Structure 1
Amino acid sequence: MYTLIVSIIVFGALIFFHELGHFVTAKLCGIKVNEFSLGFGPGVFSVKKGETLYSVRVLPLGGYVRMEGENEKTQDPRAFSNKSVPARMAVIIAGPMMNLVLAVILIAVIGFFAGVATTKVTVIPGSPADISGIEDGDVILAVDDRKVGSWDETVSLISQRPNQTLKVEVLRDGRKMAFNVKSLVDPDTKRGIIGIKSVIIRYSPLQSLMSGIQKTLWISSMIFTSIPQLVGGKGVADLVGPLGIVHLVGEAARVGIFNVLYLTAFISINLGLINLLPIPALDGSRLIFLVVEFLRGKPVDPEKEGLIHFIGFALLMILMGFVLYRDFVRLYM
């Protein structure tokens, strides 16, 4: 029950922030919003304020902002379809962007209370870093001539190079210095290590916010590099659906609240970036249609666009069913 409650909160936060982006931007652009819904299917709760119906529905697997003239022609000057292309693009892109904003906020909260790992280091006595001449208080600037902006980047570069001689550039008392460090192999992870630890900074709003932005960008770059592999069929076995996510949330909840927040941030980044892909029924596809409209000076036939989105939605539902089935087999059989 605890896992279910935490999972509902996680799904709710992801959906709420995504739809909030669409909703707020639509309002700012003067678009009439008929409904703001969390979930699909039969309604559980609803209340109408002004011209907008706010509702919660039984299936917490998505949500929507239903705008006037979004899928039909109308003469209402406040209809979505009657607004400029830039305004409509802003409304569409705001949803995925809010998922990235949510990730920044969650990672910043973690950093504020748990501490932010910086590239300033302490050195383990007798380690390769110590032997090479790196000292406590040095700030790592680059590894093998690749600049690093965060501790995660530093660890990633070093861990990929076990049993190799690395060029590590540091900043010490305002001077840049470079050292050749022979990495070791961690016996547990089989990854490269050189014997340094990050200096942790706690309760710093600015440092926490910067960490949130840096980690969100870093995770986004990792996801972007994995998308071509996914399209090519590699990594499909690692896909998880709602059941798999619930399982992951349960595992994270047993470890602690920070793990739940970080997992939520990671899922939110995935959700935001995937929604920007040019896949029919997703926000990215709608952006493509708006770009085409901007270039040709007139919109694509709404019926044709609607058909493409419908087919895309149907294919996504088939994929969702496949992933759900595989999650069920993997977790319960």
Structure 2
Amino acid sequence: MKHISSKNILIAFSFLLIFSCKKEEKKIDNPVPVPAPTPDPYTYNNELQSSKDISFATYVISDLDMICAYASQGISGDYEATPSQSSSTTTIVSDTMVKQIVYACNNSRCKDGRLRNGAAFFYYGYDPTNNYWAQPNANHYESYGFSASVYLDDFRVNDWKVQIFDPSQPAHIRNTLAGDLYNPALTNLTWEISGKFQFINNLDPSRNLVWEGVIKKTLKNTSDTAVFANKKAKVKWHLAKLDYIGSFSGMRSSSQTLYTYKIDSNTPLYRDMTCSYAPQGATDVTEFHPFVFGKSVFTIGDYHPRTIDYGPTLNCDNKVNISFKDESHTEELD
């Protein structure tokens, strides 16, 4: 019998162990599910004209309020025809008997650079239907209880005709002081303009729009006696610092698209009447006072909401930054 060495026995035993051991199955962890990307609820569109048009409409509405403010003092102010425009006129007619103020312009290139035609009528007498806010003795824009119904007759600003949407439903300008017993050193003068307007573009009907809502204005430096000497005085508007807030909505005619526009109280639009901006190449523009600070949010259709930023600094210009999605555009307004 052959001798089997212990070495051979050890090798054989090792092979037996290796091949007889059951391999442990490798456990595979369940993969972490990757969430599907959230679909963008908005439709991408990088057009900017609607933002510029709605900003222009905001100027026009706020200017109607300022025209009433000046006309109440018997002057045209910034909305007077420039001296070099000999063929154009602006006229203020004030009738205290019927409590009516009329601002009329004929091919008037005004001091703010806008070309105006037509007339604006402000009726500040009490009317139980159309002007029930008016107080009997509130004959001045600065007075508590002043309220005016606004009517427009073929009123045009640059290439836009501006009209009351429903002539039987006038717009309104109101002094919104809570009462006559106030202290100008502690309480700012406030007003609002509200109504429904239609803007018709003479050159491009697709840009027509309807504007309905309210803009509220605050004289931020009411306490400055150089601006407002006392409760019986007239505001010196060329020194005024003004805040605007409000919201409105409507429709753009190009596609019957609905829109909304909001100026929040945290970021009001700011107008410094000591800032007079003249666009490059403009002549005789001496009293254009643009918004120089603040933000508004503009939504139109299912496009990404637009933030219209008039500037984080008080630069005296007419530029805005329009941002949406991940884009930002700097534009000069009309």
Larger Rg: 2
- Flag the structure with higher strand content: 2
**TM-score, length basis structure 2:** 0.23
**TM-score, length basis structure 1:** 0.23
